Amino acid sequence: MQQREAEALRKALAAATCRAMREAVIYLPADVKQSIAHARASETDTVAAGEYENITRNIEAAERLGVPLCQDTGVPVVYLTLPPHVPFSPVLFDAVAEGIRRATEEVPLRPNVVDPLTRHNSGDNTGTGMPAVHVRPGERFAVTVLPKGAGAENVSRVVMLLPSQVEMIGEVVVGTMLAAEGRPCPPVVLGVGIGGTFDSAPALAKEALLQPIDRMDAFEQKLCDAVNRLGIGPMGLGGKTTALAVKVKIAACHTASLPVAVNVQCWANRHATVEVEW
């Protein structure tokens, strides 16, 4: 790739990443807002109904004022979709990091990224190995961002089940939320990764959070209903809806293992996709 072409690619992707971060932290996807509205309409508990009023006002204020939905603007998780004509090169990662730095300053975003041992804060949401960038093939050049807050991330988990323990998948999902209680700011969205390996199951679970939540298949609905029977409710104060949705992604795994991961997401299931004009 020629230097001029590489520079054009860097500028285009950095701009798209910055825009995607801005949109993700300010505007909730339509399916998420629709699911929250449905939960609000079906709620009969007075306290829970009041929490939905607070959530709704929060969403409206963020859109009206152009400010982030939550003070925890998350750790940036980025997915790049590359068509055949876009070369895979270090420029992509440099551009994403530049876009994150710009968004941190311009939106602005709270600087959340620190060194895991020294706790030194980079000040711009980048650092060693950050942002996390996942690359996948596709027809259109696009960047998707999933800002992940710590409250929900901290109560996520991965379990290595035995092949004979398929029936325990539901126990893992429900048990994860039971242990979390109100800490991840429910009503939550639960991404569930089943299969793969110890490291890929959590990646599946996180990617599941990008799927539309206004529809679930029979297995997902069964898991969601089980979680909602916990009665944790919005903000852990009780109510009918503890989970807005459960979304599942699966991958083939070793015949001797059954990895299951649950990635918990708060009610603000923030993510945005922007096509890169290059």
pLDDT digits (tens, 9 = 90+) for 38-95: 999 999 999 999 999 999 999 999 999 999 999 999 999 999 999 999 999 999 999 9
Asked if pLDDT for residue 253 goes beyond 80, the answer is yes
* Every domain of the chain and the residues it spans: 3-27+69-147+271-275, 150-265
143 in Cβ contact with 14 (< 8 Å): no
Query: What's the rounded Cα separation, in Å, for the pair 28 and 213?
Result: 12
Distance in Å from the first CA to the final CA of the chain: 14
Q: What is the pLDDT of residues 172-200, one digit of tens each?
A: 999 999 999 999 999 999 999 999 999 99
Q: Residue 45: which of 178, 265, 245, 228 has the closest Cα?
A: 228
What is the reported pLDDT for 130? 86
Q: What is the pTM of this model?
A: 0.96
Task: Compute the distance between CA of residue 53 and CA of residue 60 in angstroms, rounded to an integer.
Answer: 11
Average pLDDT over residues 203-224: 98
231's tokens: 């009665």
- pLDDT bin (cut points 50, 70, 90) of residue 146 is very high
**How far is the C-alpha of 1 from the C-alpha of 23, rounded, in Å?**
31
Is residue 1 over pLDDT 80? no
pLDDT of residue 271: 98
E strand intervals along the chain: 77-82, 132-137, 142-145, 157-161, 188-195, 243-251, 258-265, 272-275
The interaxial angle of helices 46-65 and 30-42, nearest 10 deg, is 150
The tokens 């990443």 sit on which residue?
A: 17
